[in-house]
């Protein structure tokens, strides 16, 4: 009897897995939804009565009931690399030439695939069973999202053991992209709109966000899908990427049907153009093609530079365009007081999201393109950027249309607008303008800065309007107004306490984030990081001269001037003093290199491409070892480090008689210096 039940459970499990495969992977349903539901219900019922027969690959085990409290770190078996980009046919020809030269071959085979615009995933299988699903993370360590990935029916929970044996797949990782189809995404958004819920920005963010939800039951309701594009493991019986794709397919994974094996770079280019011309007929977002060397041996020979393989590149497609109409042109005030024009558009779908606004950059741009309210326009969106108006269709313009005028007064505080001579931007010069106050605070609390969870746009608007917030220190004084805050509609005790706790927590943010949070013009996250490498506390930075700032690699005159201007304002100094007293971090632990080494006190200039590390990494290492890195060669330069394709800096160094190090010599010095430090 029990035997029979076990057999029936196994039969149902295999049947349902087969129907899932046909439905979700092949998109060829074999039975009706009703018949499927009957089988599923029977399996659920039997498993409830005989839980001893539940196996991890049962379809009923896809959706767990437990919340994922934290996403644990997962070490990838092989790093998850990113791709460098190419944009033109010439770029592709160069890529091919480089490879042929390196491996001394006349012709190389490539596989061309769509580059799916979703969230990357790595699925690890041991002995044919799915054991872990992980996000990309930093490329070496991802986050464990197994519970969420299992809800995606196109992901097999197990693969047939005979195939494990046939291809030696005892331990492997299948890599791919999780995405949501454009039609499902649009349907979801229109339903949310109807029920008054906030819509999602685009399918990519939606997919990435879904994988990080704590409740797998919610993930299961989201129609996520997957395309696998890589198979990795040791000893797999295959010698090409094309074979790998076919093995994945045979094992039941979902593979994009538009991939092609190309004999040479000419075929690659033709096929890239073909893929680009067909992109609008797809029901998923793609942002380019990926070109991969087919032979795994050649892939291995070519290896990687920094975080990208040398055997693959992405070929980016041109930005997608759409036609729409300008309903209105409004002026927005940013945190620096810049007043920028924004076009309000008749909503259109473009690159997976509904667009109803586009930036017009500045008044000069409006004048140059003669953009007017009521105009029919072509808008464009590339990657992550905000859509922009590329062209006005003048033939469709009504005769009574009016030329757009620059703003005279700030749309928010009515102050006079100022147009600096050398800039296209217009400014509201009132530092107390509510729009500027709000934008500064939003930036201060944002994720890359003080990262105060819960203190977003809407709450800042409210707290500024109610007079609680005006400048950064006010945020840290909110705890004195707890009772008043609780009385504000929408807030309540629990959320106020949570907010206050998050505010306190933000005091631990490191110096470079605090510096970034201050919102000094041109001082973004990267520049802040650079600055704290050179100035270990805020006083050193406040007292820095323009020359010493300019001497820092990658810090140009505009940034230096802006920093000097910021710290010469008494108001700003007072804010910093208050923030120091409130306990924010304005200093960093500078790594003192007490042992003198080759780099200590010397100035280096980097030029050309280094193979084993990026310029950024090289300069970081030099600085850590007590050296300086400058962007231009002068008589103060001690050494020029010249990588491949070094240009004019190398010529200048030669003419000044400055010593040159090639990559190998530089690495050797690095190794020795690091050894002295570690000893």
- Assess 284 for contact with ligand IVH (CB under 6 A): no
- Assess 116 for contact with ligand IVH (CB under 6 A): yes
**Contact map string, positions 203 to 232, toward ligand IVH, x by CB under 6 A:** --------------------------xx--
**Per-state percent for the chain, helix, strand, coil, to nearest 5:** 40, 20, 35
Of these, 290, 345, 355, 515, which contacts ligand IVH (CB under 6 A)? 290
Name 476's Cβ contacts closer than 8 Å, sequence gap at least 6: 503, 507, 579, 582, 583, 584
Round to whole Å and give the CA distance between 94 and 311: 13
561 is catalytic: no
- Assess 389 for contact with ligand IVH (CB under 6 A): no
Q: Which residue is nearest to ligand IVH (CB)?
A: 120
- Assess 20 for contact with ligand IVH (CB under 6 A): no
DSSP readout, 263-292? SSHHHHHHHHHHHHHHGGG-SS-EEEEEEE
Burial readout 455-480 (b: 16 or more C-beta within 10 A, e: otherwise) = beeebbeebbeeebbebbbbbbebee
Of these, 68, 86, 120, 202, which contacts ligand IVH (CB under 6 A)? 120
Round to whole Å and give the CA distance between 314 and 326: 34
Round to whole Å and give the CA distance between 600 and 66: 54
**Contact map string, positions 578 to 617, toward ligand IVH, x by CB under 6 A:** ----------------------------------------
- Assess 309 for contact with ligand IVH (CB under 6 A): yes
**Residues numbered 504-543 forming contacts with ligand IVH, rule: CB under 6 A:** none
Stretch that binds ligand IVH, among 80-88, 147-155, 481-489, 521-529 (CB under 6 A): 80-88
CB closer to ligand IVH, 303 vs 492: 303
Phi, psi of 277 (to 5 degrees): -70, -20
- Assess 299 for contact with ligand IVH (CB under 6 A): no
Burial readout 250-284 (b: 16 or more C-beta within 10 A, e: otherwise) = ebbbbbbebbbebeebeebbebbeebbeebeeeeb
63 three-class SS: coil
Of these, 43, 46, 83, 247, which contacts ligand IVH (CB under 6 A)? 83
CB closer to ligand IVH, 122 vs 430: 122
Q: What is the dihedral of CA 527, 530, 534, 537, to 10 degrees?
A: 60
- Assess 150 for contact with ligand IVH (CB under 6 A): no
Of these, 115, 316, 381, 534, which contacts ligand IVH (CB under 6 A)? 115
CB closer to ligand IVH, 293 vs 541: 293
Stretch that binds ligand IVH, among 108-116, 188-196, 638-646, 662-670 (CB under 6 A): 108-116
Round to whole Å and give the CA distance between 291 and 314: 6
CB of 113 to ligand IVH, least distance (A): 4
- Assess 177 for contact with ligand IVH (CB under 6 A): yes
Among the options 115, 150, 513, 530, which is catalytic?
A: 115
Helix axes 89-103, 265-278, angle to 10 degrees: 150
Of these, 312, 313, 329, 579, which contacts ligand IVH (CB under 6 A)? 312
Round to whole Å and give the CA distance between 320 and 352: 10
Number of residues that bind ligand IVH (CB under 6 A): 13
Stretch that binds ligand IVH, among 8-16, 111-119, 563-571, 582-590 (CB under 6 A): 111-119
> Between the CA of residue 276 and those of 322, 351, 379, 383, what are the distances in Å?
16, 13, 19, 15
Round to whole Å and give the CA distance between 450 and 517: 6
Contact present, 428 and 339 (Cβ < 8 Å): yes
Which residues of this chain interact with ligand IVH, rule CB under 6 A? Answer: 81-83, 113, 115-116, 120, 177, 229-230, 290, 309, 312
Q: Report the catalytic residues.
A: 115
């Amino acid at each position: 009897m029990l035997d029979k039940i076990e057999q029936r459970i196994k039969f149902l499990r295999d049947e349902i897995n087969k129907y899932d495969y046909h439905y979700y992977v092949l998109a060829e349903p074999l039975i009706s939804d009703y018949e499927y539901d009957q089988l599923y219900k029977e399996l659920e019922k039997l498993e409830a009565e005989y839980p001893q027969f539940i196996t991890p690959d049962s379809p009923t085990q896809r959706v767990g009931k437990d919340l994922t409290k934290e996403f644990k770190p997962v070490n990838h078996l092989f790093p998850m690399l990113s791709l460098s980009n190419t944009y033109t046919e010439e770029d592709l020809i160069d890529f091919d030439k480089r490879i042929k030269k390196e491996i001394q071959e006349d012709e190389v085979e490539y596989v061309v695939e769509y580059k799916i615009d979703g969230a990357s995933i790595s699925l690890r299988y041991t002995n044919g069973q799915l054991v872990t699903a992980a996000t990309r993370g930093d490329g070496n360590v991802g986050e464990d999202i197994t519970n969420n990935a299992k809800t995606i029916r196109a992901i097999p929970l197990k693969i047939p053991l005979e195939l494990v044996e046939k291809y030696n797949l005892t331990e492997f990782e299948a890599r791919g992209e999780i995405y949501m189809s454009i039609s499902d995404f649009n349907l979801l958004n229109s339903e949310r709109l109807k029920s008054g819920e906030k819509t999602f920005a685009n399918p990519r963010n939606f997919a990435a966000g879904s994988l990080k939800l704590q409740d797998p039951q919610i993930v299961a309701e989201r129609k996520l899908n997957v395309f696998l594009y890589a198979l990795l493991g040791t000893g797999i019986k295959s010698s090409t990427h094309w074979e790998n794709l076919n093995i994945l397919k045979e094992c039941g994974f979902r593979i994009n049907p538009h991939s092609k094996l190309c004999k040479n770079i000419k075929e690659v280019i033709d096929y890239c153009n073909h893929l680009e011309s067909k992109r609008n007929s797809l029901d998923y977002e793609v942002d380019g093609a990926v070109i991969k060397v087919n032979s795994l041996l050649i892939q291995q020979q070519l290896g990687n530079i920094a975080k990208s393989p040398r055997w693959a590149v992405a070929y980016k497609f041109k930005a997608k365009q759409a036609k729409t109409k300008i309903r209105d042109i409004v002026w927005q005030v940013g945190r620096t007081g810049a007043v920028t024009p924004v076009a309000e558009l008749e909503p259109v779908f473009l690159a997976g999201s509904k667009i109803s606004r586009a930036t017009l950059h500045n008044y000069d741009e409006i004048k140059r393109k003669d953009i007017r309210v009521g105009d029919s326009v072509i808008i464009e969106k590339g990657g992550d950027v905000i859509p922009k108006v590329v062209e006005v269709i003048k033939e469709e313009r009504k005769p009574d249309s009016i030329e757009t005028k620059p703003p005279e007064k700030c749309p928010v505080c009515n102050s006079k607008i100022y147009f600096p001579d050398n800039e296209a931007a217009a400014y509201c010069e009132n530092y107390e303008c509510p729009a500027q106050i709000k934008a500064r605070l939003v930036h201060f609390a944002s994720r890359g800065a003080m990262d105060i969870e819960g203190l977003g746009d809407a709450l800042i608007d409210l707290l500024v309007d109610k007079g609680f917030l005006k400048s950064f220190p006010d945020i840290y004084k909110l705890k004195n107004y707890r009772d008043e805050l609780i009385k504000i509609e929408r807030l309540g005790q629990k959320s106020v306490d949570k907010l206050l706790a998050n505010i306190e927590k933000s005091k631990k943010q490191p110096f470079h984030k605090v510096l970034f949070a201050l919102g000094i013009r041109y001082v973004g996250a990267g520049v802040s990081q650079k600055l704290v490498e050179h100035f270990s506390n805020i006083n050193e930075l406040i007292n820095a001269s323009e020359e010493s700032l300019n001497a820092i690699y990658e810090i140009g005159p505009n940034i230096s001037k802006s920093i000097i201007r910021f710290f010469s304002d008494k108001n700003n100094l007072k804010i910093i003093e208050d923030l120091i007293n409130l306990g924010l971090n304005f200093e960093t632990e500078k790594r003192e290199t007490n042992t003198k080494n080759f780099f200590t006190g010397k100035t280096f200039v980097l030029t050309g491409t280094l193979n084993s590390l990026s310029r950024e990494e090289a300069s970081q290492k030099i600085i850590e070892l007590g050296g300086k890195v400058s962007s231009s060669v002068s008589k103060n330069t001690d050494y020029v480090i010249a990588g491949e394709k070094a240009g004019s800096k190398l010529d200048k160094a030669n003419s000044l008689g400055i010593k040159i190090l090639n990559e190998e010599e530089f690495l050797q010095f690095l190794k020795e210096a690091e050894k002295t430090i570690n000893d």
